[in-house]
Every structure is written in structure tokens, then in C-alpha cells.
Structure 1
Amino acid sequence: MIPFEYRRAADAREAVATVAARPDAVFLGGGTNLVDHMKLGVATPDMLVDVSRLPLTEVEETPGGGLRIGATVRNSDLAAHPLVRQRYPALARALLSGASGQLRNAATTGGNLLQRTRCRYFQDVTTPCNKREPGSGCAAIGGWDRHHAVLGASELCIAVHPSDMAVGLVALDATVHVLGPDGARTLPLADLHRLPGDAPERDTVLAHGELITAVELPPASDMTRRSAYRKVRERASYAFALVSVAAALDVDDDGVVRDVRIALGGVAHKPWRAARAEDVLRGAPAAEESFRLAADAELAAAEVRDGNAYKVPLARNTMVAVLRDLTEARR
């Protein structure tokens, strides 16, 4: 074990100041991802600042009828929260699809969003990986690429983001509250994560020392109450998504799509908001033909490799199935 310093923060501002002052310091939440990476030698921080006991553990209604979720709310508690289950079922289902019950009892909302890729090459320090060591190369390109990205990848990295929860939150138009050395700011959750581009080592747009303090869901509506999440994986549990789809659908009395939100998991370096598919569907009949046209429009930009070409038809069929189920559920 590489030696490191441990501190328990008294409040959020102290945590931010402490990490910001040390280039190799990191925040410690539930530790379900970070501790594994420290054991593997993937992460080598010289200081852990424990934020798991900060008073960010509440799920509260906002004045407009939304929800504010503290960054240290445990995944299991959030999935079981009555207002989440009633108003945002896509989020509850996404949370229950992730990891095991034991891990959900430890994992936090903020930590879940910041978990790193499960690419086997990223986690193997004997192989080149631009995300782990910029400029070293990408062993997945030309290697074992079955689980890798088909959208938004670059010539430097084809890894995918592993979070189920984040996909559900993107489809629900969540926002993220962040506290940093320069103060507080808010950004759409869809803008939190980055595509790899020429800097795959940067997973998010957060600066060093910025701490997620809360996630906020917009006011509940009939559309959010009829939201859904579906995860396709290689085994029934304890597996990351090959493809996942979160969607919320609003259909008028004439069977026309008024509004729709769709996000995909397992296909890109970040939770993928399916904006092209949404544009195709708004004003179109809520019918299988429309759903397939929308999925094809979204996936037209896919770039596949020998091992992951199956993800395109899998994503198409999963998207169609979720939208079809949401349409039938309202009848």
C-alpha cells in the first residue's frame, strides 16, 4: 500500500479548501470505486479527505415540486425513497440496477456520478491507457473491445461510463450543485461528464477541488412519473450495462408525442443524451415506426469495432422497447 494522509472534513468548505491546496488530494465518499483503484495502483492520492459524514444526507422537496438530493445520500436509501419511487421511477430503477445491495448501502450520490470507467485496460497498470497515463496509448483500440463505446469516442479512448444512476438523471434533466474554491455553481447533469477528445484523463468538467454537494431533479410531472429504465447486461446482476436506456414520454390524447427525454448508457464515455432521437419524436405518432426512426437517427453516427458492433442493434431495440412500453402503460 502506498502511504497516504487521511483527514475527515468538518464541513464542505473545509473539504474543498483542503483538496484544492493539494494537487494529489481527493475526496473520499463511500469509497466503492476509489479504494479498489488504490488497491490496483490505478489511483495514488497522497491525501484522502473524507466527506462521507458531511450533512448532505437529505432528500428534500424544492419549492417548485422537485427534489434536492444531498451528495452523501446512499444509493440504497435514494432508490427506496417514496418520492423518488412515485415521481421518478426511472431513477429508482436505475439505482436498483447498479451493483449489489451491499455496494448500494455504501455508495453515495456524488460518488456514483464520479466513478471511473470499468475498462479492463484502465484497471490493469501493466497495459497502456491514455485515461490512466496520458500519452501512453489505448490498449482497447485493437484489443478486447466488446464493452466499449460506439458513440462519441476518440482515437485516444473508447471507454464507456459505468453509472446507471447517471443515465436516469440525465433523462430526467437533473442539475448538479457544486462547491469549489471560487464558490458555488450549478450545471446541467448532462454537461457534467466529458467525451474523451484529446484529454481522456478528464472524466468531468469539474476543476480540482470542486465538490458535488447535491443533485436536483426538476418538478415532477406526468412524464417523469411514467419514466422507465432498462438495462441489458451479460448476466442478471452484478454486471455493467452493455446498453441501457432511460426515457420519459409525454403523449397527447391523439397519440402524438408532446415531449420526450431519452438517455443511453453503455455506449459512450458519458451518459448519452439522445437529442437527435428526441427531435425526431416530438410531434410524431407514438408508434413503433416512429420509435425505430428516432433510434436510427440517434445511432447513425455510431462507429463500431470488431467486438462491439452488436451494440447498435441492441441499443436500437432497447430504445424501441422502452418507448413502446411507456406508450402502452398510459392506455
Structure 2
Amino acid sequence: MREFGYQRAFDVPGAVALLGAEPEARYLGGGTNLVDLMKTGVERPALLIDVRELPLDRIEATDAGGLRIGATVTNSDLAAHPEVRRRYPALAQAVLAGASGQLRNMATVGGNLLQRTRCGYFTDVAKPCNKRVPGSGCPAIEGEHRNHAILGASAHCVAVHPSDMAVALAAFDAVVTYETADGPGELPLAEFYRPVGDTPHLETVLPAGALITGIVLPPAPVAAVSRYRKVRERASYAFAIGSIAAALDVRDGVVQEVRLAFGAVASRPWRAREAERLLTGGPVGAEAFAAAADAELAAARALPDNGYKVTLMRNLVVAVLSELSELPGAPGESGTTDLSGEAAR
């Protein structure tokens, strides 16, 4: 591991100024991903700027009726917050599915958004990887790619984004707020992650030196009836091979609103816009759910060993939407179902 400096920041402008003075610095939150990458030599910062003492650790209501989540809120606190569990249960479920309790106690919301892929070629500095060394190649395409992307990939990279939390945030139109030396800014999560293209090493559109300060969830009554489902290769904590965040508002047998986002199938959380479009205003039922999933997955380009993900995601769409359509209550009406109890299991 390269020798590095360490400095603690106590206010947001101070943290931004420290990074501006040292381009090879990195912000340190919980360190659950960054420190691992430093140990393997993937990340080699000259300075770590500890941001855990910044006043960004609160979850509070917005004037518009949504929630503002500070960047240093731990994953454990996010999943346990009563308003998150009541109003955005799929988000609480996603966070609980993402890691062990020990990791959730350390990991922060801002760091979760910026975690790097777990592709074995990326984490092994002895192997080529376009995401780590631009222009060196993507050996996963011809090599081990069972858990890699089927949507939105390119000839330059087929790695997937590892976050569970970000999938639920994508379904609920979250907005990322940040601070730079020039002042504050914000980005819809739908625009936060770059398409892979021919520059997989450029993962977000955050301005250089920006510090994530929080996430804003807009009001979304449909989110109260939502669910996150994760499929993994072992029952203990592992990264997804496919996941879905879904929310559904059904009245008189007709879909009024639906939210769908997929995880572990692309380099970023995949918002299933085509499936949402086809379902809205139509009937509920397995046949309609399957047709919408097929339309969304028509863009899939599977590799020899990961084609199973197409069937897996189709089945997840049908199963989760079927479960949601059978729940009592609807957004904005009395009797809205609270899935927070399930999130705790």
C-alpha cells in the first residue's frame, strides 16, 4: 500500500478545499470499499480526507414532502429510520440486503453511491482492465463474466454496478446534491452515472473535486407500496446477480403508476422505463407483467455465460409485481400497506 496522509474535515467548504489542494486525495467516509481497494493497489491516494465529522448525518423531511438524506448517514441508520421504512420501504429493504450489520454500521450513503465494481479483473492489478487502466482491454468479455452486464454494456466494459441502495433510489427519482469550490449543485440520479461507452473509467458526471452532501427523495406516494428483491448465489451477504426495486399503484384492476429499476445487470442502476410505459394504464396480471419485462429486456445483449440473467429478471418482474398487486391498500388511501416489517427480516 502506498504511504498516504490523513486529515479530518469538520465543515463542507474545508473538505472541498483540502481536495482542491491535493488532486490525488480521496474523501473517506466509512471506507468499506475504498480501503479494500487501497489494500489491493487499485486505489493509491496521496491523502485521505475524513468527512465523517461533517454535519451531514441527518434524515429530515423536505418542504415538498419528500426526504433529505445526508451523505454521512450510515446505511444502518438509513434502513432503520421510521420514515424511510414507512414511505420508501424498498429502500430500507435494499440497504438491509446489501451487507452485513457490521458493514452497514460503517458504510455511508455518499460512499455507497460511489462504490466501485467488484469485477475480478478490475480488482486484480495484475490483469488488464479498461476501467482501471484505460485502453488495456476487457478480459471479462472472453473470460469470466457470469455475473456481468446484459444491458447497456459496450465492447470496452461489461462490469456491473454493485450497489443495492442505488437501485431503489433510481426507482424513486432520487436527486444527488453536492458541493464544489464554486458552490452547490445537484444531479438527478438518472443522470449521475455515465453510460459505459468507450470511457468506462469515467463512472459519474460529478464535477472534479465535488463532495456529495446528500440525497433528496421527492414525494412519491406509490413508493409506500414497494419492494426490493435480490437474488444472490448464496444466502449470506453477497453481491446480487440480479435485483429489482418495484412500486405499484393499482386501482380497479388498472395500473395507475409503476416504478421499476433493475440491479446487477448494467454498469449503473437500470431504470426500466419501457416496462413502466407499457404497464401504466393497463391491466394487472402475470401476462401483462411478463410482456412488459420482455419489452424492457429486448435490449439485452448477453454473453455466453450470463444469458440466464434475462430469464432471471423476467421472473423477478412477474413475481414482485404480482406480490405487490395482491397487497391491500393503495397510495393516498387509508390502509396503505407498510412493508417495513419485511425489510427487517
TM-score by length of 2: 0.94
Match of 1:5 in 2: 5
Q: Which residues in structure 2 correspond to 1:217-236 (within 5 Å)?
A: 217-221=217-221, 223-236=222-235
- Name the SS of the counterpart of 2:120 in structure 1: coil
The code of the aligned residue for 1:67 comes to L
Aligned residues: 329
Shift of 1:10: 2.0
| In 2: Cα distance, 1:97 partner to 1:58 partner | 22
Match of 2:242 in 1: 243
- Name the SS of the counterpart of 1:241 in structure 2: coil
**CA deviation vs aligned residue, 1:72-113 (integer Å, no higher than 9, x gap):** 000011101111111110000000001111000000000001
Moved over 6 A (4+): none
- Are 1:23 and 1:208, in contact at CA under 8 Å, matched by a contact in 2? no
Q: Which residues in structure 2 correspond to 1:103-122 (within 5 Å)?
A: 103-122=103-122
Match of 1:312 in 2: 310
1:289 is aligned, of 283, 287, 290, to: 287
The code of the aligned residue for 2:92 comes to A
| In 2: Cα distance, 1:325 partner to 1:172 partner | 19
Shift of 1:185: 1.0
- Are 1:19 and 1:208, in contact at CA under 8 Å, matched by a contact in 2? no
The code of the aligned residue for 2:286 comes to E
- Name the SS of the counterpart of 1:329 in structure 2: coil
Shift of 1:326: 0.6
**CA deviation vs aligned residue, 1:214-233 (integer Å, no higher than 9, x gap):** 11111241x11101100000
1:58 to 2:58 alignment: yes
- Are 1:90 and 1:227, in contact at CA under 8 Å, matched by a contact in 2? yes
Q: Which residues in structure 2 correspond to 1:10-49 (within 5 Å)?
A: 10-49=10-49
Shift of 1:18: 1.6
Q: Which residues in structure 2 correspond to 1:1-331 (within 5 Å)?
A: 1-221=1-221, 223-252=222-251, 254-330=252-328
Shift of 1:53: 1.1
Shift of 1:189: 1.3
- Name the SS of the counterpart of 2:216 in structure 1: strand
- Are 2:172 and 2:220, in contact at CA under 8 Å, matched by a contact in 1? no
The code of the aligned residue for 2:16 comes to V
Shift of 1:237: 2.1
Q: What are structure 2's unaligned runs of at least 5 residues?
A: 330-345
- Are 2:254 and 2:283, in contact at CA under 8 Å, matched by a contact in 1? yes
- Name the SS of the counterpart of 1:45 in structure 2: coil
CA RMSD of aligned residues (A): 1.0
**CA deviation vs aligned residue, 1:23-75 (integer Å, no higher than 9, x gap):** 21111100000000000000011111111111100000112221100000000
| In 2: Cα distance, 1:278 partner to 1:330 partner | 21
- Name the SS of the counterpart of 2:123 in structure 1: coil
Distance 1:302 1:220, change over 3 A: closer
| In 1: Cα distance, 2:218 partner to 2:164 partner | 19
The code of the aligned residue for 1:142 comes to E
Shift of 1:242: 0.4
- Name the SS of the counterpart of 1:13 in structure 2: helix
- Are 1:281 and 1:290, in contact at CA under 8 Å, matched by a contact in 2? yes
Shift of 1:195: 2.0
- Are 2:75 and 2:104, in contact at CA under 8 Å, matched by a contact in 1? yes
Q: What are structure 1's unaligned runs of at least 5 residues?
A: none
- Name the SS of the counterpart of 1:39 in structure 2: helix
Shift of 1:22: 2.1
| In 1: Cα distance, 2:2 partner to 2:196 partner | 29
- Name the SS of the counterpart of 1:244 in structure 2: strand
The code of the aligned residue for 1:28 comes to L
| In 2: Cα distance, 1:22 partner to 1:310 partner | 45
- Identity value in percent: 62
